[in-house]
């Protein structure tokens, strides 16, 4: 009971045709006929995982699943106190099977690929998409090809793509170039494209919204998350809207997107009142997962931010590192740099008075700490090397570092 519809011209497509953008160039989205839909799940805080919400997921076959979703939503009183808000929650998407939220999209996307009779899938990736796709392709018995920007993918992510058996190509160019290439590869060689341009992937990711309401039992004022290719913020907004249209909730949170200073086309467009972005030719940030200059879902994301009364904001790499350490050292939550952008953005918005003390805020942290060990090593002090002697050890730990 759904179609694929263009968000620009409204043209509808049969969801069983393999198509990623409209003839007019517009982005597509899955549109359910919500009135005629039978919903069997309850938002009772129980048994949360992606496929709990399958009545709102556009596939009919048995899912290719590795138990994705159901990630922890931590109440962060200590960090909230330090930053100056009372109700701060952090949803740790790094606790998904491959260590990022991409698994929510891939379980649906790979299932869809099989439903469509495809035997091979492809993506361009800053790392996590490839790790996740490789994992689900392995589980589903599909061939996987990934294009990575050479030298700009965190080590843990490359390792994952390799061990799950994907064909891994390092492109001499950045992510945006790799994405352009893989679109052509998918077209010409018949691979099913699993970048977030693929509307079915976003359907899986919208379950982040479902789980937040399911667990909290109410709608928070604000969701804060990092924005790279801008798929996730669009997906989560869609999830909240569907819950509202179905009568589960009566408001949606302010969608708040955080980018890195060196890669902030969405923030530029937001600030200049534009409905689409001007791409960056050479995006740069240590948060490699959001090192993207030409986010394909920007139009959807800008709409989500504006319609919900949210904001787009950028943070520096220094602010990202400092937030990453705060979250780790105050709450014991370990995330990769891109994820810490949401925490850095939160801090900035509180300082600017845009988020007030009694706002309920959920920060979505998108990927696990162990994805990018090299970054951690480079921003923390090295282990102290000592002789195997108790006095040496005493001396070493007393020099207050």
Ligand X SMILES: *Cc1c(COP(=O)(O)O)cnc(C)c1O
Q: Which spans of this chain sit near Zn ion (rule: CB under 5 A)?
A: 6, 8-9, 11, 22, 24, 26
Residue 98 makes contact with ligand X by CB under 6 A: no
As measured in angstroms, the least distance from the Cβ of 84 to ligand X is 25
For residues 220 and 228, which CB has a smaller minimum distance to ligand X in the complex? 228
Query: Which region among 61-69, 230-238, 270-278, 381-389 touches ligand X (by CB under 6 A)?
Result: 230-238
DSSP 3-state assignment of 195?
A: coil
Dist. CA 308–CA 58, nearest whole Å? 25
Q: Check if the beta carbon of residue 294 is closer than 8 Å to that of residue 277.
A: yes
Q: Which residue has the tokens 């791409």?
A: 279
| DSSP alpha helix (H) spans, 169-221 | 175-189, 199-205, 207-216
Residue 48 contact among Zn ion, ligand X, none, beta carbon within 5 to 8 Å by kind: none
Task: Note whether 367 binds ligand X by CB under 6 A.
Answer: yes
| Shortest distance (Å) from residue 339 CB to ligand X | 5
The entry of Zn ion, ligand X, none near residue 338 (CB within 5 to 8 angstroms by kind) is ligand X
Laid out side by side, the sheet with 192-193 consists of 167-171, 143-149, 120-124, 192-193
Taking CB under 6 A as the binding criterion, the range among 52-60, 69-77, 269-277, 335-343 that sits at the site for ligand X is 335-343
Contact present, 179 and 195 (Cβ < 8 Å): yes
Q: Which is nearer to ligand X, 43 or 293 (CB)?
A: 293
Which one among 289, 312, 321, 376 touches ligand X, defined by CB under 6 A? 289
43/123 with CB nearer ligand X: 123
Tokens found for residue 363? 């920060």
290 touches ligand X by CB under 6 A: yes
Q: Which is nearer to Zn ion, 299 or 363 (CB)?
A: 299
In the list Zn ion, ligand X, none, the entry touching 8 (Cβ below 5 to 8 angstroms by class) is: Zn ion
Taking CB under 6 A as the criterion, the residue among 226, 265, 293, 334 binding ligand X is: 226
Question: Does 229 interact with ligand X (rule: CB under 6 A)?
Answer: yes
Q: How far is it, in rounded angstroms, from Cα 197 to Cα 179? A: 10
Residue 128 interacting with ligand X (CB under 6 A): yes
Check residue 65 for interaction with ligand X (CB under 6 A).
no
Would you state the torsion angle of the CA atoms of residues 110, 93, 221, 306, taken in this order, to the nearest 10 degrees? -50
- Which one of 134-142, 212-220, 272-280, 334-342 is the stretch in contact with ligand X (CB under 6 A)? 334-342
Nearest to 293 by CA among 135, 179, 388: 179
Query: Which residues does residue 226 pair with via DSSP β-bridges, in sequence order?
Result: 258
Taking CB under 6 A as the criterion, the residue among 100, 107, 198, 241 binding ligand X is: 100
Cβ nearer to Zn ion, comparing 6 with 277? 6
Specify the DSSP class assigned to residue 95: G
Please say which residue, 93 or 326, places its beta carbon nearer to ligand X.
Answer: 93
Residue 230 contact among Zn ion, ligand X, none, beta carbon within 5 to 8 Å by kind? ligand X
DSSP symbols for 269-308: HHHTT-SS----SS---S-GGG--SS-TTHHHHHHHHHHT
CB atoms within 10 A of CB 84: 13
68: left (phi over 0), alpha (psi -120 to 50) or beta: beta
Cα 72 from Cα 184, distance rounded (Å): 38
Q: Is 258 one of the binding residues for ligand X (CB under 6 A)?
A: no
CB 161 within 8 A of CB 146: yes
Pick one of 227, 323, 350, 376: the residue that binds ligand X (CB under 6 A).
227
Q: What are phi and psi of 181, to 5 degrees?
A: -65, -45
Q: Which is nearer to Zn ion, 11 or 139 (CB)?
A: 11
256 binds ligand X (CB under 6 A): no
Residues binding ligand X (CB under 6 A): 100, 102, 128, 196, 226-232, 289-290, 336, 338-339, 366-367
């Amino acid at each position: 009971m759904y179609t694929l519809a263009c968000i620009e011209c409204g043209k509808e497509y049969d969801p069983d045709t393999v198509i990623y953008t409209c003839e007019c160039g517009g982005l597509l989205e899955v549109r359910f006929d919500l009135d005629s839909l039978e919903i069997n799940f309850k938002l009772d805080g129980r048994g949360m995982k992606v496929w709990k919400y399958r009545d709102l997921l556009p596939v009919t076959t048995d899912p290719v699943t590795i138990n994705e979703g159901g990630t922890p939503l931590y109440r962060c009183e200590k960090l909230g106190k330090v930053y100056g808000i009372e109700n701060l929650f952090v949803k740790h998407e790094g606790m998904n099977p491959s260590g990022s939220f991409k698994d929510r999209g891939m379980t649906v996307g790979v299932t869809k690929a099989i439903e469509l009779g495809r035997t091979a899938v492809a993506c361009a990736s800053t790392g996590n998409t490839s790790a996740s796709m490789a994992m689900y392709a392995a589980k589903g018995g599909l061939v996987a090809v990934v294009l990575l920007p050479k030298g700009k993918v965190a080590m843990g992510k490359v390792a994952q793509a390799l061990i799950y058996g994907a064909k891994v190509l390092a492109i001499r160019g950045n992510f945006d170039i790799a994405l352009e290439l893989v679109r052509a590869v998918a077209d010409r060689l018949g691979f099913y494209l699993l970048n977030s341009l693929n509307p079915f992937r976003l359907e899986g990711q919208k379950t982040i919204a479902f789980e937040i309401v399911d667990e909290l039992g109410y709608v928070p004022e604000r969701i804060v998350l990092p924005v790279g290719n801008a798929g996730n913020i669009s997906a989560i907004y869609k999830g909240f809207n569907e819950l509202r249209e179905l009568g589960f909730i009566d408001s949606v949170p302010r969608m708040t997107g955080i980018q890195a200073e060196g890669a902030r086309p969405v923030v530029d467009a937001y600030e200049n009142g534009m409905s689409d972005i001007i791409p960056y030719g050479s995006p740069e940030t240590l948060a490699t997962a959001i090192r993207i200059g030409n986010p394909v879902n920007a139009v959807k994301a800008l709409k989500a931010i504006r319609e919900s009364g949210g904001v787009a904001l950028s943070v520096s790499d220094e602010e990202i590192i400092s937030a990453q350490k705060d979250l780790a050292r105050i709450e014991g939550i370990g995330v990769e740099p891109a994820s810490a952008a949401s925490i850095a953005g939160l801090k900035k918005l509180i300082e600017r008075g845009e988020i007030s003390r009694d706002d309920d805020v959920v920060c979505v942290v998108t990927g696990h700490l162990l994805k990018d060990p090299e970054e951690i090593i480079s921003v923390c002090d090295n282990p102290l090397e000592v002789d195997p002697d108790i006095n040496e050890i005493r001396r070493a730990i007393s020099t207050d570092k």
